[in-house]
Amino acid sequence: MKRLAHISDLHFGRIDPRVVDGLLADLTAQAPDLIVISGDFVQRAKARHFEEARAFLQKLPFPYMAVPGNHDIPVYNVFKRFTDPFGHYRRYITSDFSPLHIDNEIAVLGINTARPVIMDFSEGRMNRHQIARVREVFCGMPDTVFKVLFTHHPFLPPPDLPKTQLVGRHKLALPALESCGVDLLLAGHLHKAYSGDIMSFHTQIARSILVAQASTATSTRLRNETNAYNLITVEQPTVTFEVRSWEGAAFTGGLVSTYRKQGHRWTLQAQDTGFRPVTGDPVAAAWETADRLSRGHERDRA
C-alpha cells in the first residue's frame, strides 16, 4: 500500500499562515509515503515569495516531488519572463523539471506544463519531447505498478464547467497515456477539488485514466471552495481519494471516493463524506448526513 499527499497551488505571497501551519500538522499526522506538489508555489514569482515556499518545503517531514505552475514564472518582469522564466524556481525549489519516482508499487512522473507565453500567462501545454518522456517512462511497465503523471494544468474539466481550458496538446498526449497504461493524472491550477475518469469527457479514449484535481492548499485565492488537498491511497486494484479540507482550525477528512480496477476499467465503488453524527437524535442525524452527502457530491462535481 502507498499513500500520496497531493497538494497544489500554495501561492506563497498570498497565503493564510494558519492554514500553512495546519497543512504541515495534517501532513505530519497522515504520514504519506510521498508528497506530490502540482505547481503555483508562489503568487508573483518574487524572490521573497519563493523564500517562503522554500521554508515550507524544508519543514515537510516526507519526500516530495514538484513541478512549476504558471504563477512560478514572472508576470510583470517581462525581460526575466523570457530570458530566465524559471530562475527563481530553479534556485529555490528544484532544478529537476521532470521528477520521477519508481518503486515496486507506484511510478510517479512530473511534467512541467508552465510556459512563458505572451498573451495568456496562465496557459500551459505539453510538448512532443515531454510526450516521448511519458512513453519512455511508462510504456513497458507491468500492470502491477500504479502509474501516476502529475502536471500543473488539467486534462479534465470540472463536470459543471466543460469549456474550461485544458493543458495544450492534450489530444496528442492522451493516446500516449492510454497506450502506456497510465492510471492516474494529478493536477491543480483551477483551485477546485474533483475526481473522475478521463473517459467521461474525452470520448476518443477507450481506457480508464483516473483524474484527481486538487484545490488550493493554502492560498486565500479561493474559488467558492475551502483550502484542501488530496490524500490518495493506492492498494491495487483499489485506489481511494480523500479530500482533506481546512475547517477553520484544522484540516479534516471530507469526501472519500473509492475506485476499483477491473481489467482496464476503473469503477467508482463508493463515496463517503467521512462524517459521523454524534447527536443522540437519529432523525436529526439522518438529515444532517443527507445534507452533508449532497454537499459532498456538489463539491466533487465543482
29-37, 137-145, 159-167, 189-197 -> range binding Fe ion (CB under 5 A): 189-197
12-20, 22-30, 37-45, 253-261 -> range binding Fe ion (CB under 5 A): 37-45
Could you tell me the smallest distance in angstroms from the CB atom of residue 256 to Fe ion?
Answer: 25
Rg (CA), the chain: 19
189 sits near Fe ion (criterion: CB under 5 A):
yes
Kind of pairing, strands 210-213 and 228-235? Answer: unpaired
57-65, 70-78, 140-148, 253-261 -> range binding Fe ion (CB under 5 A): 70-78
Q: Which is nearer to Fe ion, 9 or 26 (CB)?
A: 9
Between CA 271 and CA 293 the distance in angstroms is 9
State the DSSP string of the chain. -EEEEEE----BTSB-HHHHHHHHHHHHHH--SEEEEES--BSS--HHHHHHHHHHHHH-SS-EEEE--GGGS-SS-HHHHHHSTTHHHHHHT-S-SS-EEE-SSEEEEE---B---SS-TT-BB--HHHHHHHHHHHTT--TTSEEEEE-SS-SS--TT-TTPPPPBTHHHHHHHHHHTT--EEEE-SS---EEEEGGGT-TT--S--EEEE---SSBS--SSS--EEEEEEEETTEEEEEEEEE-SSSEEEEEEEEEEEETTEEEEEEEE-------S-HHHHHHHHHHHHHHHHHHHH-
Could you tell me the smallest distance in angstroms from the CB atom of residue 266 to Fe ion?
Answer: 26
Q: Which is nearer to Fe ion, 133 or 221 (CB)?
A: 221
Could you tell me the smallest distance in angstroms from the CB atom of residue 175 to Fe ion?
Answer: 25
Could you tell me the smallest distance in angstroms from the CB atom of residue 87 to Fe ion?
Answer: 18
Q: Which is nearer to Fe ion, 115 or 189 (CB)?
A: 189
How many chain residues are in contact with Fe ion, going by CB under 5 A?
5
Could you tell me the smallest distance in angstroms from the CB atom of residue 209 to Fe ion?
Answer: 21
Spatial CA neighbour of 191 closest among 297, 43, 73, 292: 43
9 sits near Fe ion (criterion: CB under 5 A):
yes
Could you tell me the smallest distance in angstroms from the CB atom of residue 70 to Fe ion?
Answer: 4
**Residue of 69, 74, 116, 196 that binds Fe ion (CB under 5 A):** 69
Question: N- to C-terminal Cα distance for the chain?
Answer: 29
Q: Which is nearer to Fe ion, 3 or 189 (CB)?
A: 189
Q: Which is nearer to Fe ion, 37 or 182 (CB)?
A: 37
Could you tell me the smallest distance in angstroms from the CB atom of residue 233 to Fe ion?
Answer: 25
Interface pattern 39-68 for Fe ion (x via CB under 5 A):
-x----------------------------
4-12, 73-81, 242-250, 294-302 -> range binding Fe ion (CB under 5 A): 4-12
Could you tell me the smallest distance in angstroms from the CB atom of residue 114 to Fe ion?
Answer: 8
Interface residues with Fe ion (CB under 5 A) are 9, 40, 69-70, 189
